[in-house]
Amino acid sequence: MLDFFTFKHFKRSPSLLHAVTTKSNDLPYEFSLALHTGEDTENIVANRNKLSNLLNSSEQLHYIVANQTHSDNIKIITNKETKGWESLENAVEDCDALITDVKGVVLNILTADCVPILLYDKQKEVVAAVHAGWKGTKAKIVSKTVKKMTEVYGCDPKEIMAGVAPSIGRCCYEVDADVAKHFFDIPEGFTPVGEKYMLDLPFINKEQLLHAGIKEKNIEMSHTCTACEVERFFSYRKEQGCSGRFMSMIGIKNKKEDDEN
C-alpha cells in the first residue's frame, strides 16, 4: 500500500494539497516517478497516473514537472496546464524552483538525496517547490525563491510556511573540501571528519529560509535522512547511483472543490 510523507502545518490548511511520495515494492521500479533516468516511460507514466488518482481530487489537477539542472533558475507558472507529466519533451526547461498562484496546478520536484523544499503563503495563496542540491544550496535558490514570491505576488516572508522534505542528512553526506568550502561561513552546517566533511544541507537551507525572513515557527523539518531510510526513500548516495526518484508536490485546490468539501 502506498503511503505519503506529509507536513503537519500544511495539513491544517484544507485548501492546500501536498505530499511526498515513498517507495513501493508492489509497483514498477519501486514507484519511481522519474522520466529522465532511462526506465520504461509507459511504466513511469502509469506510476504517475496512479499517484494522481490517489490524490482524490474531485476536479482535474494539472501537474508541472521541470527539467532540473542544479541551477538557481526559477519559473513562474501562470497557466492552468500540465507540463512534463507524461513526457520530458514539454517539461519546464532548465529550472529548479517553481512558483504559482493558479488553483488546481500542482508543482513537483524529483529527488533522491537533494533537498526538496515546499513553500506556502496562505494569505496570498501562493505555493512554490524548490530543488536544492549542494549547487542549488550554494546559489541560495530557496532564498531567491522567497524573494521572487515577494516581488511577483507581494508575499510577506513572515507569512510563508516552509516544509523541508526528506533528504540526505549530515549523518550520511560526506563531501570533499571543494564542496564543503562553499559553506564554511556556516560552521554549524558541517562536521569535519579527517580531510572530509559531513555536510548538513537541510540545516543550511533552513538557515537560508530564516535569513530570507521566514519565521522559525513556520519552518517544519522532516528530520528524515533518505540514506538512513533507504527502504522508504530513494537515495542516490546509499544505493550507489540509483535511478529511482521520489516526488515532493504542492498545489492549491480548485475553489469549486473547496466549496464541495
> pTM of the prediction?
0.96
Q: Quote the pLDDT of residue 1.
A: 65
pLDDT-based confidence at residue 58 (cuts at 50, 70, 90): confident
Burial 62-93 (b: 16+ CB within 10 A, else e): bbbbbebebbbbbbbbeeeebbbbbeeeebbe
- Look at residue 56 and tell me whether its pLDDT is greater than 70: no
pLDDT-based confidence at residue 80 (cuts at 50, 70, 90): very high
Q: Quote the pLDDT of residue 55.
A: 84
| Mean pLDDT value across residues 7-27 | 96
Superfamily, domain 4-166+214-260: CNF1/YfiH-like putative cysteine hydrolases (3.60.140.10)
Distance CA 242, CA 234 (A): 7
Are the CB atoms for 146 and 160 separated by under 8 Å? yes
Q: Quote the pLDDT of residue 258.
A: 46
Percent of the chain having pLDDT more than 70? 97
Distance linking the first and last C-alpha atoms of the chain? 25
Q: Quote the pLDDT of residue 255.
A: 72
For strands 16-21 and 246-252, give the pairing. antiparallel
